[in-house]
Structure 1
Amino acid sequence: MASAHTSAGLDVGDVQTVRRRLRVDHDHPHYKWVALSNTTLGMLMVTINSSIVLISLPAIFRGVHLNPLESSNVSYLLWLMMGFLLTSAVLVVMFGRLGDMFGRVKIYNAGFIVFTVCAILLSFDPFDHGGGAIWLIAWRVVQGIGGAMLMANSSAILTDAFPAKQRGFALGINQVAAVAGSFLGLLLGGLLAEWDWKAVFWISVPFGIIGTIWSYRSLHDNGARTPGSLDIPGTLTFAVGLTALLAGITYGIQPYGSSNTGWGNPWVLTGVIGGLALLVIFCVIEAKSSQPMFNMSLFRNRTFALGNFASLMTSVSRGGLQFMLIIWLQGIWLPQHGYSFEDTPLWAGIYMLPLTIGFLVSGPLSGYLSDRFGGRIFAAGGLLLAAITFVLLIVIPVNFNYWLFALIILLNGLGMGIFTSPNTAEVMSSVPANQRGVASGMRATLMNGGMALSIGIFFSLMIAGLSGTLPNAMNSGLREQGIPANVADQLSNTPPVGSLFATFLGYNPFKEMISPDVLNQPGVNGSTITGEQFFPHLISGPFHSGLIAVFLAAAVMLLLGSIASWFAKGDYAVDEAAELAEATREGIIDVDATEQLPVVGVNDAATNGHTVTSTLTAPATFRTPSSEPLVADGRAISGRVVRSDGYIVPAVALTLIDQRGHQVSRATGNQHGEYVIEPPTAGSYVLIVSASGHQPAAVNVTVDGRPQRLDVPLQGSGEVSGTVRSTADLRPVAGATITLTDMRGEVVGAAVTGARGDYACQGVVSGVYTLVAVVEHMRPTAITLTVPDSGVLAQDVELGAMSVLNGSVWADGRAVPDAQVIVQDATGGILGSVHTDQDGNYSVTDLTEGQYTVVARGYPPVSSRVRVTGSQVNHDLQLGYDQPADTVNGHSNGRHAAGVTADTE
């Protein structure tokens, strides 16, 4: 066949090759690694920017000429830290929902653009003083919108791109990069602020431009989309409620009247109480919404709920650790060791490197190991190790030995990294495919909200610790340096928040708080008071009192997170689309065949609290589900069948048996999970519910002659999944049929591979099975496999190319019909036996690479060689007559053979 050419003279294959060089197709064997590298770059860029400002605030304040000790400027400082985190926390769920609706990659790509444009605008602040601070705050808020787009969809894109057996490793790298980015931001902030404060924002520009072009050229939407509309009431109540709560907490750490904190401020109380009330209203709205933004039903899944709780506790404690270590190093330890306040941001970032190294080492390794051995021990053990390090940070003195300090924060980084990978993989794997965008957004909201909450929580705890000890230490210290008693009393009664933020920003507040006249009085050691070491030594004792409260609280949070992680494992989502596809492939037809199925005990409010555990007979397959609504009347039992995460289960089969085990009624649910089944008389029965990909359930029901409602939950059962690839080039094979049979030869699962060669057979229990993979033009493959007690097994399959030998049998220039053609291997074994048709043609399929002998029976032997170089080879056989008198219709009836040797490649 002639090959097709383009008008420009290029072969179609050449054009496809050029296009592939310019972009990576979604079915490319390396697409998943492209998705991982791009989303990891995006997460690194976002999280670096979430923390890079923290350590750069002294340079930023000096750059826009703001005095950090003026009370009116404290708000600028807080919102420079809070604006980005608050916006991300408020909007990340909405963008996760938009990703589920319109495509995760579309929203992700738009996030790259928004983020990069804002980085450029932040680099060119045209104003000074308060105006300059407002410019930075405003664009940081907008940049948080881009960050929310990226964070909400990166985990969902990876979950779509990677098979289940590699998902922990991929999500682990992505999330470890995200968490490590928050610590790398501290190092980069210190380095760049030393050069120019605007360079803190320049760093994102080149990476943003590269990432934007790269994502648009290479990423594809492979996940399931969920059509619908935005939940406007839920979005507004969530945004306003969370903003009010975080703003209230933020201003609660500022002085109010004669109080050291603002928790007595009516506006603060209004913000906190009103914010909490709006969030409660938000939960009510979401529970009743048909298309909620924040899918509250996901929290019914134990893995999702406890995993996110552990993640929230970790995020809060990690935020507190960042703030406290920055204060400890920048404001106290480094000045005590001779570093100038101007140099402390740089060296604080350098001295915190062991924390980042711990993350980078343990995160990917933990993801790999958790894929092989399970994530529970790693998630729980990582947080337990991190909790111990917080206690160790309390034990060491404020003026510590650095190598001891470095070892402790290295262990802290290792513990956090060990936790992050398995936690992310388990949480994201526990949700249905069409909810991964929302789930990713919910997870990111809790993480960002935790970081934002940590500012208020830990600064409040630190201020509470300082309030009890700082006034006396300041009073006595100033008097020892010759400051008059009345001045010392006045300075010691100033709110501790001023001293705390001065420490945070690397300032000596006494330079601003004590007038030159007082400092120049006889007997006053003015040079000592305004020097770089007096204030750090003065605050170190009270600071340690605050550290005890802060780090003990963080240790308790991590301990709770560790316990939650230990009990989180167990609930995993079954892909609803895969269930429906499997049901379609199996035909979902009504048959009489039955099989023994284990019944899971059910104890739920929807089942009236009854529990039955036994072995029951349930139908093996079901009818095609109807879309018509079902109406119950008479004595009928009706309801819905749902999974543990609240999603409907279509095409259920229902059997009603009496107390003696006799079947009295059968029914089939529709595609909305609804069912109606009619008992013959009033009395007690057992309702058996089963569905493809789920463990069946049995519920006691009592019928009193009136219709009753009964919703039944089903748990997803095990899964055999993997990827089918070609043996020759390891490319994925789409459209291959996967059949799973048990030891009796009965089909227990079926699937068809997708565009990436992936398949999944749900509803598999432990045992020995035979897996068969079949696709056109390739040799079928059969594999014996053993599903472990967990019911989950990853099994990849390779299919070899299949050659077809075609030809004709001729004698004296005429085709020979009904001649027998046999193909033998080197040992004489028969691999194929066919007869020629009326035109003398034959075809032998299912040949692999090797050398064969082709035999045609009934004529004198003739031999030749043939080389098979493609999927089909034509080879004709020319035969001669044996004995003319022994022929029938011109064809010999003898038993001679013609031998042909065929080399296949």
Structure 2
Amino acid sequence: MSSTTPTTHPGAHRPADEPMSHRQIMEALSGLLIGMFVAILSSTVVSNALPTIVADLHGSESGYTWVVTATLLATTISTPIWGKLSDLFSKKLLIQLALGIFVVASAVAGLSQSMGMLIAMRAVQGLGAGGLTALAQVIMASMIAPRERGRYSGYLGAVFALGTVSGPLIGGALTEHLSWHWCFYVGVPFALLAIVVLQKTLHLTTVRKDHVRIDYLGATLLAAGVASLLVWVSLAGQQFDWGSWQTAAMVGGGIVLLALTVLVESRAAEPIIPLRFFRNPTVVLSAVASLFVGVAMFGGTVFLSQYFQLARGASPTASGLRTLPMILGLFVASTVAGQFITRTGRWKGWILTGGILLTAGLGLMGTVEWDTNYWVTAAWMALIGLGVGMMMQNLVLAVQNVVAPQDLGSASSFVAFARSLGGAIGVSALGAVLAHRVTDHLTDGLRSAGISAGSALGGSGVPNLKAIPEPVRGIVQAAYGSSVADVFLVAAPFALLALLVSFFFKEVALRGAGTAEAAQSPAEPVAVDDRVQTVVALGVTGTVRRHGGTGLADAVVTLTDAAGRQVSRTRTDATGRYTVAAPTGGTYLVIVAAPHTAPSATLVPVADRATVHDVVLAGRSAITGRVLAGEPAQTVTDALVTLTDVTGEVVGTAHSDTDGTYSFGDLMGGAYVLTAQLPGHRPQARALDVPDAGVLAVDLQVAGGGRLVGTVVAAADGRPVPEALVTVLDGTGQVVASTTTPADGRYRFDDLPGGDYTVTAAGYSPVARTAEVEDDVETRVDVALGAALPQGAVR
């Protein structure tokens, strides 16, 4: 029997199962980082030029919005397709192709003579951007253990910040001193360099399946459904009424198309978005949070250039400089969070903190006006940058940590798809909000000044402030300042929703390099440097659990064939998951072993796809004993006995039988907590150290509380005193309980912890007596009102 084993590029000089060093990873990532820089630069270089571009091409506020939305929409639609392709073909070839598409579209966009041509080229740009967005995270996941990805995601965040900082500055300078057309050409040299460096430094294991089928129908339906809803959001209220037949057609058609998408995806052999993702809470929560982050982030920040140029009258270059606080916040948050996540493996706290800061930043930006002090605005922008830096990359990390290796591409791109979809929705919807608010504020401002709106502006496009005389210019600036603030106020609740969703994450610490074996996908065919060797994609996958149900990390899983020869071997990850490969169909023996457990061996049939086989390993230890109560101790029937491990997970429960005995078997050695409960008694807990093998005998004695009883009588004639207030105080003077005596003067207090108490009775004049209460013992204290009892009254 032959099998295909992953090998590395000769230049790597390392065994296939040895983790890459930091230097090797950085060499492999160098071209990827340059490519990401090109993508970010080409996107941000036009941000401060857009007001000039749209004005030069005689575009409207809606056109301004669609220059951004077209890119985001194309990115959204293409991202899951690129992700699926990365599970099937060479990732290096795909990212070079995406980079080429992006740069060619950028160069052609520089030749635009109309808004239609510019928007079309921006859509093509989005196709390339979708590839870069999806493949960057997929390539990192294929080389780096989840625990280390936080560190390298920080590098991506730093490149993102660098491109975001330099883009507006370069674009502003080019627009002012040359022409806005040059903004689309500036990334070409960097792109060519990125393609060359990627070819020389990026050497990845390439997987491909036989009979590859891309779900083009699902992708088309998804694109059409999303586009229908986005076009409706951006045009409703301007080109037609919200309650019109156009609205009914677009919304109804979009919903029908998306429903058909779900139907097609459920039947597709290779779905663009596998519906099984929706059964994974972490994937669903990350996607929903990313959707809201996209709405808040893109929907709020994309209009900053209009705020600085149209509200504050800044030049394109100065506008870029004034966004530095937000970019610096993003840079600091992404790098610092990445380092801490790598050290600790914990990520949820950073996402929650980011959600708080992003919500606060957007809400506070909603309070600014056109003449607000810049340093106040800078502080709020810094909060936005910090929030985005803490949330954006870490939501992808959370998903990559829990999905199967063969789903890394699809799952990563699914989260990026949700973020891009949110961005497209946000830009479209908030762009429509901005257009409405600008119109309203302008109309109100001009009416207050006694100026005709038509004669003052002469059109409905994006205004050129230099061509507008005073006092109309001040009114326009004030209108844009207030309107952009309104946009931030609308974006803030979406950031709050992302924060609320993030609270429901169940944090799973990121896996380290020790589980790299499990992170590989040996069930897939392998090729190196784009030379593909195809085998059948088969194997066994599942979860190894302890007897109590929790995942068992670092268990060894071995697959052998009918002749007893080892086919493949791996270790379970931090959650107990594993995947082992099978070269052909047939029946295989799955052997699972872990320290201090009884091994498991099972025959598993493997057909035309990966077989799911979960294993529960039993330990070799047991706990037995009796539940006792009272003095002298007596066995207790039907007491509830609970066993938990050191993490608080319940391992098992039992009820004591007629002779008071209980038992727990198949346990692994370690620390446990044993608890017994019985009605009318206080729970008894005991910490145990269970040996790796053998039976540990442990008796548990539950104690009932003490009882304090007595009668309140009149000292003069000994008759019972009704309605006397009896109060019990503990040794610290705190009131434990109180009651009023009935007609017979008796009182009773049950379930008191053992100790010293003071009993007071008030009728004629208060009287106090001391009492010593013991567990499971009744203590009697009679109280005589009106005169002291003789010596020995306390019984």
Do Structure 1 and Structure 2 share a fold, with TM-score over 0.5? yes
Counterparts of 1:297 and 1:646, CA distance in 2:
18
Q: 2:281 corresponds to which residue?
A: 302
Which amino acid letter does the alignment assign opposite residue 325 of structure 1? L
Counterparts of 2:152 and 2:339, CA distance in 1:
9
The 5 Å alignment of 1:312-331 reads 312-331=291-310
Question: Greater shift after overlay, 52-61 or 463-472?
Answer: 463-472
Question: Greater shift after overlay, 379-388 or 456-465?
Answer: 456-465
Q: Would you say the 8 A contact 2:110–2:185 is kept in 1?
A: yes
Root-mean-square deviation (CA, aligned residues, Å) is: 4.5
CA displacement 1:516-535 (0-9 Å, x = unmatched): xxxxxxxxxxx5345x4343
State TM-score, norm by structure 1: 0.55
Query: Does 1:190 find its partner at 2:132?
Result: no
Q: Would you say the 8 A contact 1:302–1:570 is kept in 2?
A: no
Counterparts of 1:235 and 1:351, CA distance in 2:
40
Q: 1:383 corresponds to which residue?
A: 355
Query: Does 1:243 find its partner at 2:227?
Result: yes
Q: 1:318 to 1:188 in 2, by over 3 A?
A: farther
1:200 CA drift (Å): 0.5
Query: Does 1:444 find its partner at 2:416?
Result: yes
Query: Does 1:116 find its partner at 2:103?
Result: yes
2:377 match: secondary structure: helix
Q: 1:213 corresponds to which residue?
A: 196
1:173 CA drift (Å): 2.5
Q: 1:622 to 1:447 in 2, by over 3 A?
A: closer
Which amino acid letter does the alignment assign opposite residue 197 of structure 2? W
CA displacement 1:635-694 (0-9 Å, x = unmatched): xxxxxxxx9999999979899xxxxxxxxx996442369999xxxxxxxxxxx951699x
1:332 CA drift (Å): 1.3
1:94 CA drift (Å): 0.8
Counterparts of 1:360 and 1:263, CA distance in 2:
41
1:29 CA drift (Å): 6.6
CA displacement 1:407-456 (0-9 Å, x = unmatched): 22122212221223432322222222222222232222222222221122
The 5 Å alignment of 1:641-656 reads none
Q: Would you say the 8 A contact 1:253–1:456 is kept in 2?
A: no
Q: 1:175 to 1:647 in 2, by over 3 A?
A: farther
Aligned pair partner of 1:364 in 335, 359, 383: 335
Counterparts of 1:327 and 1:46, CA distance in 2:
22
Q: 1:263 to 1:51 in 2, by over 3 A?
A: farther
1:387 CA drift (Å): 0.9
The 5 Å alignment of 1:372-521 reads 372-373=343-344, 374-465=346-437, 470-477=442-449, 479=450, 483=451, 487=452, 502=462, 506=465
Q: Would you say the 8 A contact 1:99–1:105 is kept in 2?
A: no
Q: Would you say the 8 A contact 2:107–2:185 is kept in 1?
A: yes
CA displacement 1:806-828 (0-9 Å, x = unmatched): xxxxxxxxxxxxxxxxxxxxxxx
Q: Would you say the 8 A contact 1:175–1:424 is kept in 2?
A: no
Which amino acid letter does the alignment assign opposite residue 377 of structure 1? G
1:159 CA drift (Å): 1.0
Q: 1:556 corresponds to which residue?
A: 493
Counterparts of 1:675 and 1:440, CA distance in 2:
23
Counterparts of 1:767 and 1:554, CA distance in 2:
55
Q: 1:350 corresponds to which residue?
A: 321
Aligned pair partner of 2:58 in 61, 67, 89: 67
Any gaps of 5 or more consecutive residues in structure 1?
A: 1-15, 257-261, 512-526, 583-594, 603-614, 627-642, 656-664, 677-687, 694-716, 718-741, 745-765, 770-905
CA displacement 1:236-295 (0-9 Å, x = unmatched): 211222222222223236343xxxxx5345445423331232122212221232221112
Q: 1:52 to 1:453 in 2, by over 3 A?
A: farther
The 5 Å alignment of 1:268-307 reads 268-307=247-286
The 5 Å alignment of 1:53-92 reads 53-61=46-54, 65-68=56-59, 76-92=63-79
1:624 CA drift (Å): 4.7
1:74 CA drift (Å): 5.7
Q: 1:102 corresponds to which residue?
A: 89
Which amino acid letter does the alignment assign opposite residue 58 of structure 2? N
Counterparts of 1:645 and 1:44, CA distance in 2:
36
Q: 1:786 corresponds to which residue?
A: none
Report percent identity of matched pairs.
23
Aligned pair partner of 1:528 in 453, 465, 470: 470
2:546 match: secondary structure: strand
Q: Would you say the 8 A contact 2:54–2:462 is kept in 1?
A: no
Q: 1:221 to 1:377 in 2, by over 3 A?
A: same
Counterparts of 1:398 and 1:36, CA distance in 2:
42
Counterparts of 1:295 and 1:645, CA distance in 2:
19
Q: 1:204 corresponds to which residue?
A: 187
Q: 1:182 to 1:88 in 2, by over 3 A?
A: farther
CA displacement 1:756-783 (0-9 Å, x = unmatched): xxxxxxxxxx9999xxxxxxxxxxxxxx
1:28 CA drift (Å): 7.7
Q: 1:576 to 1:308 in 2, by over 3 A?
A: farther
Which amino acid letter does the alignment assign opposite residue 597 of structure 1? R
Q: Would you say the 8 A contact 2:352–2:499 is kept in 1?
A: yes
1:670 match: secondary structure: strand
1:568 match: secondary structure: coil
Q: 1:568 corresponds to which residue?
A: 505
Counterparts of 1:400 and 1:197, CA distance in 2:
29
Question: Greater shift after overlay, 433-442 or 573-582?
Answer: 573-582
Q: 2:606 corresponds to which residue?
A: 671
Q: Would you say the 8 A contact 1:169–1:421 is kept in 2?
A: no
1:356 CA drift (Å): 0.8
Counterparts of 1:596 and 1:321, CA distance in 2:
45
Q: Would you say the 8 A contact 1:653–1:690 is kept in 2?
A: no
Which amino acid letter does the alignment assign opposite residue 270 of structure 1? A
Q: Would you say the 8 A contact 1:171–1:424 is kept in 2?
A: no
1:213 CA drift (Å): 0.9
The 5 Å alignment of 1:690-709 reads 690=615
Q: Which has the higher contact order (CA 8 A, sep 6+)?
A: 2
Query: Does 1:42 find its partner at 2:26?
Result: no
Q: 1:274 to 1:123 in 2, by over 3 A?
A: same
CA displacement 1:547-566 (0-9 Å, x = unmatched): 56533332222122123223
Query: Does 1:598 find its partner at 2:523?
Result: no
1:150 CA drift (Å): 1.9
Q: Would you say the 8 A contact 1:173–1:421 is kept in 2?
A: no
1:177 match: secondary structure: helix
1:294 match: secondary structure: coil
Q: 1:649 to 1:348 in 2, by over 3 A?
A: same
1:600 match: secondary structure: coil
Which amino acid letter does the alignment assign opposite residue 184 of structure 2? F
State TM-score, norm by structure 2: 0.62
1:82 CA drift (Å): 2.6
Q: 1:153 corresponds to which residue?
A: 135
1:147 match: secondary structure: helix
Query: Does 1:177 find its partner at 2:159?
Result: yes
Q: Would you say the 8 A contact 1:94–1:235 is kept in 2?
A: yes
1:177 CA drift (Å): 3.4
Any gaps of 5 or more consecutive residues in structure 2?
A: 1-9, 524-543, 563-574, 583-587, 593-599, 619-646, 648-667, 671-688, 693-795
Counterparts of 1:209 and 1:216, CA distance in 2:
11
Counterparts of 1:645 and 1:284, CA distance in 2:
30
Counterparts of 1:580 and 1:201, CA distance in 2:
40
